[in-house]
Amino acid sequence: MEKISSGEEVGGAGGAYSYSALKRLDQIWSSICEPKADSKVPEVVTRVPEMFADSDLGAGSEIFDVIVCGGTLGIFVATALSSKGLRVGIIERNIIKGREQEWNISRKELMEIVEIGILSEAELEQIISSDFNPNRCGFEGKGEIWVENILNLGISPAKLVETMKGRFIASGGAMFEGRSLSSIYVYDDCAVLKMSDGDSLSCRLVVDAMGNFSPIVRQIRSGRKPDGMCLVVGACARGFEKNTTSDVIFSSSAVNRAGNSGVQLFWEAFPAGSGPNDRTTYMFTYVDPKFGGPKLEELLEVFWNLMPAYQDVVLENLDIRRVIFGIFPTYRDSPLPAAIDRILQVGDASGIQSPVSFGGFGSLTRHLGRLSNGICEAVEGGFLDAHSLQLLNPYMPNLSASWLFQRAMSVRPQVNVSPTFINELLFANFQSMQKLGDSVLRPFLQDVIQFGPLVKTLGLVMLTRPQILPSIFKQVGLGVILDWSGHFLMLGFYTFLSTFIDPVTRSWIESLPPRDKYQWKRYLEAWRYGAGLDYRQGE
The string of pLDDT tens digits covering residues 114-139 is 999 999 999 999 999 999 999 999 99
Q: What is the pLDDT of residues 255-268, one digit of tens each?
A: 999 999 999 999 99
- Per-residue confidence at 415, pLDDT binned at 50, 70, 90? confident
The pLDDT of residue 483 is: 94
The pLDDT of residue 232 is: 95
Q: What is the pLDDT of residues 217-249, one digit of tens each?
A: 999 999 899 999 999 999 999 999 999 999 999
The pLDDT of residue 359 is: 66
> pLDDT above 70 covers what percent of the chain?
96
d(CA 225, CA 288): 10
d(CA 395, CA 487): 10
Q: 66 with 380: CB under 8 angstroms?
A: no
Strands 63-69 and 181-186: unpaired
The pLDDT of residue 71 is: 84
Opening angle at CA 217, ends 214 and 219, nearest 5:
115
* Lowest pLDDT segment from 21-30, 303-312, 411-420: 411-420
Q: What is the pLDDT of residues 1-58, one digit of tens each?
A: 777 755 666 666 666 788 999 999 999 999 999 877 556 889 999 999 999 988 777 6
d(CA 119, CA 110): 10
d(CA 366, CA 73): 13
Q: What is the pLDDT of residues 139-175, one digit of tens each?
A: 988 889 999 999 999 999 999 999 999 999 999 999 9
Q: Which residues pair with 230 in a beta bridge?
A: 286, 328
Q: Above 80 in pLDDT, residue 538?
A: no
Calculate the CA 405 to chain-centre distance: 16
d(CA 294, CA 317): 28
Three-class SS state of 491: helix
- Per-residue confidence at 355, pLDDT binned at 50, 70, 90? confident
**Full-prediction pTM beyond 0.75?**
yes
Strands 153-155 and 103-105: antiparallel
Look at 40 and 314; give whichever has higher pLDDT: 314
d(CA 535, CA 538): 10
* Lowest pLDDT segment from 11-20, 251-260, 349-358, 366-375: 11-20
- Per-residue confidence at 516, pLDDT binned at 50, 70, 90? very high
Q: What is the pLDDT of residues 33-47, one digit of tens each?
A: 987 755 688 999 999
Long-range contacts from 417-423, C-beta under 8 angstroms, 24+ separation: 417/471, 417/474, 417/475, 418/254, 418/471, 419/254, 419/255, 420/140, 420/254, 420/255, 421/468, 421/471, 421/475, 422/251, 422/255, 422/264, 422/475, 423/139, 423/140, 423/142, 423/251, 423/254, 423/264
b/e string for 450-485 if b means 16 or more Cβ within 10 A?
Answer: bbbbbebbeebbeeebeebeebbeebbeeebeeebe
The pLDDT of residue 36 is: 73
The pLDDT of residue 17 is: 83
Residue-averaged pLDDT of the chain: 92
* C-alpha dihedral, 164 to 165 to 171 to 173, nearest 10°: 130
In sequence order, what are the residues at sequence separation of 6 or more whose Cβ sits closer than 8 angstroms to the Cβ of residue 134?
146, 147, 148, 245
Reference 161, options 218, 228, 90; nearest CA is 90
The pLDDT of residue 38 is: 56
The terminus-to-terminus CA distance of the chain in angstroms comes to: 41
State yes or no: cis peptide before 335, omega within 30 of 0: yes
> pLDDT above 90 covers what percent of the chain?
80
The pLDDT of residue 350 is: 93
